Amino acid sequence: MARTRRARRPRLTIGLLVLASITIITLDYRGDAHGAISSLKNTANDAFSPVQHAVDAVTRPIGSFLAGAFNGGELQQENEKLRDEVAQLQRQTLAEQATQNALRALDALNHLTWTPGIPTVAAQVIDLNPSNFAATVELNVGTANGVAPGMPVVGGAGLVGHVTATASTTCTVLLITDAGADSPVGVRFGPASADVGLTQGAGIGKPLTVTDITPGAPLHKGEILTTSGLQNAAYPALIPVARITGFSSTPSATEESVTAVPLADLSQLEYVDVLQWPPAP
């Protein structure tokens, strides 16, 4: 009997709620008891608003996660597309920089002032072969272009080296930084370039040493050394070679200890001139 009463209570409650809802809707539709109905609506909104916000707070991240899961492939494609566009812009920027650098190098070669009257052969570096044993580069000119062993090679900033071997359309150039016996360069410095010395390479990326300079010679940091052009010299006179970076001597020293760096950037060579000197007899 008690169970039957308990079963009837929920049914009775639901029936009363449905009846109350119909009554409220009817009154609201007819316009009766409008104030009371509005008050009930407001009360219901106030009562259920926190619940609604709580449900939104829980379901919104879930919805966003599901949307992201469904759109993940599309987002990945967009990211890959953006990465490709950035890489393309970077390549374009590097290409433009390389073009500008090449134009500046060519312009510098076209305005050399220290090789007047000497014919030149413009060349492009096609291979860099620096090592601890030999510092050389390959050029895209050779005997077919009038290039011969022993000819000096210059860049826009100064002396690079000299040709050591030739083929029909290529040649090998020994850089002034080479540590071998064939790399020394006779140089001038001081007032009116009256003093002379000899630069010797110590390997790629290392400073040049300057020898045969008597202690107390008028040296200055930053001073430019130029080719001496003495009789039977391997290079014509007044080609810029290097900049002095330091010097020192001791009371018992027989010569000054001097270091210098090449003016030409030998690690970034791209275009050079081969000087057709000395002229063929």
Residue at 235: amino acid letter:
Y
Look at the pTM and tell me if it is higher than 0.85: no
Architecture of domain 117-281: Beta Barrel (2.40)
Instruction: Give pLDDT, residue 25.
Output: 55
Mean pLDDT by 10 residues, the chain (281 residues): 52 58 54 51 51 52 55 73 71 57 57 80 86 79 96 94 96 93 90 87 90 88 93 90 91 86 91 85 54
Q: How far apart are CA 213 and CA 246, in angstroms?
A: 13
Looking at residue 261, its pLDDT comes to 96
Q: Where are the domains of the chain?
A: 117-281
Dist CA 200 CA 150 (whole Å): 17
Rounded-to-integer distance, Cα 234 and Cα 185, Å:
8
> What's the angle, vertex CA 207, arms to CA 107 and CA 247, rounded to 5?
115
Determine the pLDDT at residue 51.
46
pLDDT value at residue 8: 56
